[in-house]
Chains A and B, each alone.
Chain A
Amino acid sequence: MQFVRSNTFHWAAALAGLFAAFVTILFGFIYFKIDSYLIARSDRMITTQVNFFAALPLDRLIAALDDHLGQDSRGVQFAGVFDAKGSRLAGNVAGLPGGLEIGAPVKSVRLSRVDDKEVNVPLVRAVARALDHGNVLVIGRNVDETGEISRVVGGALAFGLLPAFCFWLLAGAWLSVRAQRRVEEVNLRVQRIIAGDLRERLPHGNIDEPFSRLAAIVNGMLDELETTINALAGVGNDIAHDLRTPLTRARLTLERGRTNATSLERLQETTDKAIAGIDQSLSIVTALLRLAEIESSRRSSAFGRVALDEMLREVCDMYEPIAEDKHIALNVDTSGKLYVHGDRDLLLEAVANLVDNAIKFTPENGAVRLDLLRGQGETILRVTDTGPGISDQEHDAVLRRFYRSDKIRNTPGVGLGLNLVSAIVKLHGFRLIIHSGPGGRVEIICPDEQAGRR
């Protein structure tokens, strides 16, 4: 009987109660309306009759009354003529009732019949009219019909409402049991997912049903999670692989050095080589940690106004000697002073990374350009080079961790540079656009700071 405690069941019961109350009020209202309608109708009838009878002379009146009462098979009509002293001349009314004023409009009054043996005197709509010679005409009509109607209505109510109420409760119980069963089913599957089975999905049939829609949404989320987790596992493998290569080299060097080194110099040489290998592995770890740090950080108080044009010139100044060594023309073109809201150190790192890449992948006698321009409501920082560029196929891959194009397999580097740029750009709310080759073209789009976004 756990369902009795369930929310669904409580709601169903509350709704059933509300429904019952509403129906009772409705029936009451109908009863009241019918009642007043019936009274109004009999009042009109009584008025018509009294007008008709009052116009007749006494002898014709008595005959007409007898006739009128004789036709009344249901015994609801009351009529009587009384003389000035109050004794009955004709009709079935036992006596002139006290509460009835002569000439007043129709009202409810207790009238007893001549032939009536019943103890309780019915309540009757009646009117009294003065005739010639002090005679009084009384016409009445029993409206106890309404009571009968109310009994019928009450019966109908009992017959209709009770089963309906029971039905509501049953439906509520059924719904709550069903909901509970589904929750149980979902729980079972979720437990399996928690236990590590990421391929498990929630059951869902008809898409229009809320429960199924919810299940479909959760399934969509699970698909996404599964993909991400698999991708992460892939990254883990990549890391392991990238770390293993320099570590293996370091190990081999040390092993050979230990057995073969004959002099202190040789041993030192070996150690230096090994340290270089270990440093390379450490630089991969450092780059990864830094990436994670930037990805999880928020806009901080270090954000301020950064003069991009100055920054580009600084970066250019830094890389000029290297470009010169490779006979690469490195140029900056900025159109006046342009500022963005950001973290100077991180933005410098991003731009330096882009320039580093551009110079690395551009063959000798090429060119690398840094442009800073204004677009519509945005500042565009563009790095172009005459290198191989990034092909359409590689477009998404370059943002993947450790991706290194086959063309540049032998160029030194960790393969996290563009990830870092992408993370920094995202942190700032900027966009990174990588155009496809030939020739490298990467843009950082910095939308203008909107008012209120600080």
Chain B
Amino acid sequence: MTKVLLIEDDKETAGEITAELADRGFDVEWSSDGLDGLAKARNLRPDAMIVDRLLPGMDGLTVIESLRKDQVRTPVLVLSALGAVDDRVRGLRMGGDDYLTKPFAIVELVARIEALLRRPLETRETILRVGQLELDLIERTARRGDRNIDLLPREFRLLEYMMRRCDQLLTRAMLLEEVWNYKFVPATNLVDVHMGRVRHKVDGPGDTPMIHNVRGAGFILRAVP
């Protein structure tokens, strides 16, 4: 069972998060202040951590920094009411951890925790395969079964990202950050438009759909069906 340590001082938020993660099969340990959280992180060795930035005792970023000093590499999702403009947060993202600004949708949190836990498919092979779908990273070509798919470079990038994380919920914000390197959510529904194009090409008429839209959350690429 995947163990997640949640360090969050607001009892109700913590309760909601714990309940949701437990529903999804996680084993959640909760700690309400920084010092206690740091001790638990050292003793329990969780697989992932969710850390609020403002905590009594010791602030969230300091907790993470002390863990990293002890060579504890547990992936962390930082929650904060503060935005993500400052440098420490950028450092966090570069170190493979993630940052989520409050208020957030619970599906967004779950999607990000799952993304942190599941390292993307790093394959030596130059061809990615998901079900019938094939992506040649050298030739930059795509095919589904016998059918060639003509992709624009940006569509190719999006599909590659999704294929490396198949069967995983990808939220709009995650796609914006990872595929387009956007650190903000633009006013227009950009992701949906791009996804529409790719989906139109991947799921031809008569095909079983592979790209699924999860209402109010994001998209999943599934090996059929």
Q: CB within 8 Å of B: which residues of A? A: 272, 275, 279, 282-283, 286, 289-290, 293-294, 297, 300-302, 314, 317-319, 321-322, 325, 345-346, 348-349, 352-353, 356, 359-360, 412-414, 417
State whether the Cβ of B216 lies closer than 8 Å to any Cβ in chain A: yes
Closest chain A CB from B89 CB (angstroms): 10
Segment with Cβ contacts to A, from B26-34, B48-56, B189-197: B189-197
Given contacts A275-B216, A293-B83, A356-B186, A302 and B90 within 8 Å (CB-CB): yes
Asked if B154 is at the interface of the complex by the 8 Å CB criterion, the answer is: yes
- Are B85 and A293 closer than 8 Å at their CB atoms? yes
- In the assembled complex, the Cα of A414 lies from the Cα of B184 at a distance in Å of 14
8 Å CB interface, B144-196 against A = 154, 180-188, 190, 193-194, 196
Contact B183 A349 (CB under 8 A): yes
Which residues of B have CB within 8 Å of A349? 182-184
If the complex has contacts A297-B86, A302-B90, are A352 and B216 also in contact, measured as CB distance less than 8 A? no
Verify if B225 is at the interface (C-beta below 8 Å from A): no
Chain A residue, CB-CB nearest to B193: A321
Nearest Cβ distance between residue B152 and chain A, in whole angstroms? 9
* Contacting pair B87 A319 (CB below 8 A): no
Check B193–A353 contact: CB distance below 8 A: no
Chain B hits for A300, CB < 8 A: 86-87
Contacts A290-B85, A321-B197, A352-B184 known; 15 new A-B pairs at CB < 8 A: A289-B83, A293-B82, A293-B83, A300-B86, A318-B194, A325-B193, A345-B181, A345-B183, A346-B85, A348-B181, A353-B186, A353-B187, A359-B188, A414-B187, A417-B187
**Contact across chains for B182 and A348 when beta carbons are under 8 A apart:** yes
B215 at the interface (CB under 8 A from A): yes
B103 in the interface (beta carbon within 8 A) = yes
Interface centre among B82, B154, B187, B196 (most CB of A within 10 A): B187
B87-124 to A contact mask, C-beta < 8 Å, 1/0: 10010000000000101010000000000000000000
Chain A, Cβ-Cβ closest to B188? A356
A-B contact pairs, 21 of them (CB 8 A): A272-B216, A279-B105, A283-B185, A289-B83, A290-B83, A293-B82, A297-B85, A300-B87, A302-B87, A317-B154, A318-B154, A318-B182, A322-B193, A325-B193, A348-B182, A348-B183, A356-B186, A356-B187, A356-B188, A359-B188, A413-B187
Q: State the CA gap A282–B185 with chains docked (Å).
A: 13
Inside 8 A of A272's CB, which chain B residues have their CB? 215-216
User: What separation, in Å, do the CA atoms of A275 and B154 have in the docked complex?
Assistant: 31
**B82, B183, B190: which contacts A322 (Cβ < 8 A)?**
B190
Q: Write the nearest CB–CB distance from A295 to chain B, whole angstroms.
A: 11
